[in-house]
Structure 1
Amino acid sequence: MELQNPARERVYSIDVLRGIVMIVMALDHVRDFFHTGALSSDPLNPETTHTALYLTRWVTHFCAPIFVFLSGMSVYLMNGRKTKGEISKFLLTRGLWLIFVELAIVSLGLSFNPLYNIFFLQVIWAIGISFVILSAFVYLPWGAILAIGAAITLSHNILDSYEAQPGFQPSPLWALLHRPGVALPLFPGHIALVLYPFLPWVGVMFLGYGCGRVFASDVSPAMRRSVLLTAGLGMVGLFFFLRALNVYGDPLRWDAWPHLSQTIFSFFNVQKYPPSLLYTCITIGPGLLALAALEHARNRFTAVCKVYGSVPFFYYVLHFYLIHGLTVVAFFISGYGTDQIADPNSPFLFRPIAFGYPLPVVYAIWIFVVAVLYLPCKRFAEYKRSHRKWWLSYV
């Protein structure tokens, strides 16, 4: 079956930025599997971290929100090629497909546990459920969707005070909406671990959809750059203003520490799970500035990043299996035995709590992973450009 709609003209800057965050994202996942202490300590804790470790973790904050935001932008760019009904149907079916992929394929890549004792609800789940919700709202004008996204992003931290009350116990629906880290029982011996409550991510998706308007054909490059710079600087400015007040926008308050570096660590340690208003501002804001800067950037670096950004779903799924496969090899090389494959304190098979290497080794493995995935991603991107199969829209 062939696609009836013509291929869309891909936006170079969007693909490049998406590729950059996909590359950086792999660093965080390599760190999870290979760094000593990754499963037992917080790399953002000012009391125990150091600059290199803090930055290694903090720089990956950009990945999920920009990934979700750009997904919303890509949906807006379907307008003109598809009817609203076609877009809605596609979002519904692709959203349900992504939720299935999260449960059946990504969870297995993370755990390597064929019994599926834990289903991980992460960013693919968040994008999937956001697509499903957007499928009902896509009939609204883009400005209305942008306003809804802004309202969710600005207001959802009001729920923090309610959640902070002594004895608060989230219901399953509340956990799915806004409370991370909750293990929802499914059936005996199996749970769904909610890592990405979806309400704030719906806000980010809707923001991306609304901001996709700046890439419409009737918007000049100069106007687009002006809007991106203004919005990006505005979000960064809002972050510093609200963070300095230390009153609203993030449940993690910052404190003055004995050393300046620790105080800076505390100031920038904003909540990702779920993404707070301040987290969204300090990640999406620079992302908008990057879109403005990348529009006319054409060099070897951007060309390489564009390869990964052209096939993000393919890269995302593949990189988990590659990283975990390398973990299995390192597990046996490090002298562990088959009786240590499952650690009761670790959700990942072949990844004991005590397992790991220093940070330089983590960076070497990260570079290797990204390099190995380049050729498969390039070949698949070329295949997608030259074929119009319906199923390619889902991968």
Structure 2
Amino acid sequence: MDTTTAPTAVHAASDGGPAGRFRLESIDLLRGIIIVIMALDHVHDFFGVPGANPVDLATTTAPLFFTRWITHFCAPVFFLLTGTGAFLTLRRMTKPELSRFLVTRGLWLIVLEAVVMRFALQFNFDYQVTLLIVLWALGWAMIVLAGLIHLPAWALVAVGVAMVAGHNLLDGIAPAAFGALEPLWTVLHVPGFLVTGPHTVFVTYPLVPWLGVTALGYALGNVYAWDAGRRQAWLLRLGLGLVVGFVMLRLLNIYGDPFPWLVQRSPPWTLMSFLDTQKYPPSLLFLLMTLGPALLLLRAFDAGTPRVLRPALAFGKVPLFFYGLHFYLIHLLAVVVCYVGYGDVGGMFRSPDLGHFPFTAPPGWGLGLPWIYAIWIGVVLALYPLCCWYAGLKRRRRDWWLSYL
């Protein structure tokens, strides 16, 4: 979503469009960095050892653990900045117009998840397995936010904090406790099967905590109307506060995550246990761990974009465009690697159950981390020119459909 504001309020750069249109470079930059990191996780999904859990301390390695851990920052930042972008869009929309846009955009993301991205992941249309992942949750977050933006600011913040800080109080409630409403609890709080049988639907991203992050992101947008000194001081204090809150609450091992950390065989492995917080759904500690540093990065980038990081702006300006293309490219590369290594690519188009998602890997499938990092870099470099082209197209034109991709 475009992020716009008056140039006198924050460090911003003209996008070359009609007078008064500006983008917040700090937000584009953070979003661009995060989406590049996200691609690393998806390359590992396709080229790593099937079924291996990178954060299982009994089987993982330190490099594999931290490769997965760094990608944990992606989803929380996307949801946070979705809310912030929505608030900043009020510079060019009324609240009723924004509500309509959020609803239509949200519905579009849900359709993309179920059709376009499902095919990108599985390269088939049999719908034996459908996962409701990040675009599904982002879509619903926008739809819910369309209503929340009409609340008083304090009420919206209260709803967001309650969802983020309080949802772990409900961890002990199983979906079966709701009887006929069991699917609703799966959608809201507990990952699980929404539909079973020959065609299964699995909810990976339960909605409640993500809705809260998006609402708080919307509230965060208010700081971009402040002067730079006040805004930067506030981002620094809040970011450090969330980091300190994570460390203190995690040390207590009482609340905030379903799985306590344990002393391991060495300090590095104990640190890994300490950092191993739950993502599905994101626990309070998971969100403190990821959103605190994200706010510190927003503070650091608020003063300007470091030259070495400027290429990331191209990705941050067209995140959905990059998101869709990179899955297709990664899957195509996996097909090529499978053909070269095995001479048979049939399994790359079959995903009959959740255990064979997103494809049925041949025996011995899986590359080492150096190869995964090399493929990741190749994917990012290959998509950079396309993202620059599309960012330029969006800068020059204002066709309505460009707001949906």
Band of TM-score, shorter chain: over 0.9
Q: Distance in 2 between matches of 1:330 and 1:27?
A: 17
Shift of 1:258: 2.0
Partner residue, 1:313? 320
Corresponding position: 1:194 with 2:207: no
Partner residue, 1:25? 38
Partner residue, 1:371? 381
Shift of 1:165: 10
- Match among 252, 259, 266 for residue 259 of structure 1: 266
Q: Distance in 2 between matches of 1:358 and 1:311?
A: 30
> In 2, are the aligned partners of 1:153 and 1:277 still within 8 Å (CA)?
yes
Corresponding position: 1:132 with 2:143: yes
Uncovered stretches (5+) of structure 1, i.e. residues with no partner: none
- Match among 356, 364, 374 for residue 366 of structure 2: 356
> In 2, are the aligned partners of 1:40 and 1:353 still within 8 Å (CA)?
no
Which residue identity does 1:324 align to in structure 2? H
Q: Give the SS at the match of 1:119.
A: strand
Q: Distance in 1 between matches of 2:258 and 2:180?
A: 17
Partner residue, 1:389? 399
> In 1, are the aligned partners of 2:119 and 2:125 still within 8 Å (CA)?
yes
Cα deviations across residues 218-237 of structure 1 (Å, max 9, x unaligned)?
x0000110110111111111
Q: Distance in 2 between matches of 1:383 and 1:295?
A: 26
Partner residue, 1:209? 218
Bigger shift: 159-168 or 302-311? 159-168
Bigger shift: 118-127 or 19-28? 118-127
Corresponding position: 1:118 with 2:110: no
Which residue identity does 1:66 align to in structure 2? V
Q: Distance in 1 between matches of 2:134 and 2:356?
A: 20
Q: Give the SS at the match of 2:75.
A: helix
Which residue identity does 1:363 align to in structure 2? Y
Normalising to structure 1: TM-score of the pair?
0.93
Uncovered stretches (5+) of structure 2, i.e. residues with no partner: 1-17
Shift of 1:162: 2.6
Q: Distance in 1 between matches of 2:211 and 2:178?
A: 28
Partner residue, 2:308? 301
Pairwise CA RMSD of aligned residues? 2.1
Please list, as runs of the form range in 1=range in 2, the aligned pairs for 1:1-395 lying within 5 A after superposition: 8-35=21-48, 37=49, 39-163=50-174, 171-180=182-191, 182-185=192-195, 189-216=198-225, 219-338=226-345, 340-341=347-348, 342=350, 345-349=355-359, 351-352=361-362, 354-395=364-405
Q: Give the SS at the match of 1:42.
A: coil
> In 2, are the aligned partners of 1:33 and 1:351 still within 8 Å (CA)?
no
Shift of 1:160: 1.1
Shift of 1:118: 1.8
Shift of 1:303: 1.4
Check 1:338–1:229 CA distance in 2 against 1; reply closer, same or farther (3 A cut): closer
Which residue identity does 2:210 align to in structure 1? W
Shift of 1:363: 0.3
Normalising to structure 2: TM-score of the pair?
0.90
> In 2, are the aligned partners of 1:346 and 1:353 still within 8 Å (CA)?
no
Shift of 1:116: 2.2
Q: Distance in 2 between matches of 1:7 and 1:128?
A: 28
Check 1:365–1:131 CA distance in 2 against 1; reply closer, same or farther (3 A cut): same
> In 1, are the aligned partners of 2:25 and 2:305 still within 8 Å (CA)?
no
Shift of 1:336: 4.5
> In 2, are the aligned partners of 1:6 and 1:81 still within 8 Å (CA)?
no
Bigger shift: 252-261 or 169-178? 169-178
Q: Distance in 2 between matches of 1:11 and 1:260?
A: 40
Bigger shift: 60-69 or 118-127? 118-127
Check 1:157–1:168 CA distance in 2 against 1; reply closer, same or farther (3 A cut): farther
Cα deviations across residues 84-114 of structure 1 (Å, max 9, x unaligned)?
1000000111111110011011111111122
Q: Distance in 1 between matches of 2:69 and 2:363?
A: 22
Shift of 1:190: 1.6
Q: Distance in 1 between matches of 2:177 and 2:168?
A: 17
Q: Give the SS at the match of 2:90.
A: coil
What is the identity percentage for the equivalent residue pairs of Structure 1 and Structure 2? 43
Shift of 1:343: 6.3
